[in-house]
Homo-oligomer: A and B are copies of this chain.
Amino acid sequence: MHLMKDAAVCLLSGGLDSCVTTTLAKQHHSKIHALSFSYGQHHTKELKCAQKIAETLELDEHLIIELDLTPLGGSTLFSSSKNAIQNHELNSIGNSIPNTYVPARNTIFLSIALGLAETREADTIYIGANAVDYSGYPDCRPEYLSAFQAMANLATKRAIQGDRIEIKAPLLKMSKKDIIKTGIKNDAPLQYSWSCYRGEEKACGHCDSCQLRLKGFNDAGYQDPIEYNDYPAWYKQQ
């Protein structure tokens, strides 16, 4: 038995990492307020997946905030037509920073989560940030999250009253393999999680995100429960 803490806010993109993170959070908190964003990403399929995850986990609230970040520009995730995205644009891991980096995204999402945590009297914010597979993203690094925490401690009315809101990233140092094993062990609804950068009916199997996910399932020794259009040559069916 876990000691149940008060309410928490979970950033729930609908991806694999946020699905596992929210599942873990649910075990420790009496109330979960999930928060998703419609921010101009072309893979809005993720949002439908976020809704399915929230329903399956019977979360207390699931807010989808409309925040069009496309005027900022600067990311291939904002391409107006999914057909226009070339494969090489979705395969940039190994470059210093992936093309799919959205300027200040985690900072923006965590800030709104902070506002929600304040009004919902939540004591914790969960984020599925991971510094292993996507180490090119500046806002997934432990030192970044520590600095956000220090800022958050000064930012809110509750902070002034001495009541901290803690930022937790339980997957921060896990490999994709370990995230998947943790998800399966804790009955995370991975069948509803979505990783593919393309928002098609089935996952493409070839973008960076599909390949990382499939490699994770391979390494963990499990079959990925979602459907794919195709598999990379190296993928072994379990």
Counted per complex, copies of this chain come to 2
On whether the beta carbons of B154 and A138 are closer than 8 Å, the reply is: yes
Residues in B neighbouring A105, C-beta threshold 8 A: 115
Is A84 at the interface (CB under 8 A from chain B)? Answer: no
Please name the residue on chain B nearest to A153 by beta carbon. Answer: B147
CB distance from A122 to the nearest CB of B (A): 11
Against B, the Cβ 8 Å flags (1 = close, 0 = not) of A203-226 are: 000000000000000000000000
Give how many A residues have a beta carbon under 8 Å from the other chain's beta carbons.
Answer: 45
On whether the beta carbons of A151 and B154 are closer than 8 Å, the reply is: no
On whether the beta carbons of B112 and A108 are closer than 8 Å, the reply is: yes
**Known contacts A150-B147, A156-B138; A107/B103 CB under 8 A:** no
Please name the residue on chain B nearest to A64 by beta carbon. Answer: B71
A66 to B67, CA, bound (A): 6
Residues in B neighbouring A66, C-beta threshold 8 A: 66-68
Against B, the Cβ 8 Å flags (1 = close, 0 = not) of A97-115 are: 1000111111110111011
Is A143 at the interface (CB under 8 A from chain B)? Answer: yes
Please name the residue on chain B nearest to A157 by beta carbon. Answer: B97
On whether the beta carbons of A73 and B119 are closer than 8 Å, the reply is: yes
A141 to B106, CA, bound (A): 23
A157 to B140, CA, bound (A): 11
Is A174 at the interface (CB under 8 A from chain B)? Answer: no
A141 to B152, CA, bound (A): 13
On whether the beta carbons of B159 and A154 are closer than 8 Å, the reply is: no
On whether the beta carbons of B74 and A119 are closer than 8 Å, the reply is: yes
